[in-house]
Amino acid sequence: MPRVALVTYDPRPEPSKDRDLPVLVRALEEAGAGAEAVCWDDADVDWASYDLALIRSTWDYSWRAAEFTAWAERCAEATRLANPAAVVRWNADKRYLGELAEAGIPVVPTRYLAPGDPADLPDDHEYVVKPTSGAGARYAARYTPDQHDTAVRHLARMHGEGLTAMVQPYVRSIDTGGERALQFFGGGLLHASRKRAVLAPGTAFDATKVAHPGLEPWTPTAAELDVAKRALAAVPYAPELLYARVDLVDGDDGRPRVMELELVEPNLFLFLHPESVPRVVEAILAAAAAPQGRRTPGSTPAPPSAATTPR
């Protein structure tokens, strides 16, 4: 019987918000696996006792990035980790968007301001400031040029905490077309969803935000699938991906652009797509059964030219 650790975090005193976690534990147990949810930073966990450690809802990793990536390296030495530690390290810093752009992938234009850099902010368009290591819109806010002083204080706060900032134009299409999330699991498209804009005008960067407002099922277009698959093919260690989420928005030309790649702990939104649970369980069991050191069967994302039928 394969043993699978579904890796999460402990958000005490609040209860976990991962609605998919108990569903996956139950579905894996019904399929004959030994499955349990364990916290990544629990020092008492014997990772070697599992056939697979599947990162699920480690939603505190972005403000503990160095600690988390060090854990991923240790865990990968003890058992199979999905996604692999090298992917976690690469994806934990959103400067990967620059690498995707250099590879010819359409992305939201992004500049980076590290601690010590001058506050070089736009003066002719609305823009977003957020950290290169962040999730759930933490430390993210949108600004107009006349809010320069507020944005500078935002930068100073992040730089004071050693964080590098990203500066992106605010993509106006999000207000009408939303942001689409294409989920891949086990080498193919699993399902897709769309959400409304997260960053409301005037919301402070340190305010609590709803990460997925107005979430609804979505059928991706051929153009969205093409961009998503091209982006995944450009990821280092792409053949080792078990899961991925590609977040897309429309540029000024109406064509999809990559907002982010979520390769560490993407929410699968199985509560919105319960029909996807059996496919996820099948892929997890295949990954757990694969010999260490060999590529997980079915883990290679479809090549850019391949047709993928939304399910």
The pLDDT score that the predictor gives to residue 17 is 87
Taking 90 as the threshold, does the pLDDT of residue 137 lie above it? Answer: no
Q: Which of 86, 135, 158 is nearest to 247 (CA)?
A: 135
Taking 80 as the threshold, does the pLDDT of residue 208 lie above it? Answer: no
User: Span 44-72, mean pLDDT?
Assistant: 95
Taking 70 as the threshold, does the pLDDT of residue 136 lie above it? Answer: no
User: Span 91-120, mean pLDDT?
Assistant: 95
User: Span 50-70, mean pLDDT?
Assistant: 94
* Residue 122, C-beta contacts closer than 8 angstroms, at least 6 positions apart: 145, 167, 169
Taking 80 as the threshold, does the pLDDT of residue 22 lie above it? Answer: yes
User: Span 49-69, mean pLDDT?
Assistant: 94
Cα 125 from Cα 169, distance rounded (Å)? 7
Average pLDDT, the chain: 90
**Strand, helix or coil for residue 107:** strand
Q: What's this model's pTM, rounded to 2 decimal places? A: 0.90
Cα 264 from Cα 6, distance rounded (Å)? 13
For the segment 155-189, what is each residue's pLDDT rounded down to a tens digit? 999 999 999 999 999 999 999 999 999 999 999 99
The pLDDT score that the predictor gives to residue 155 is 95
The pLDDT score that the predictor gives to residue 288 is 97
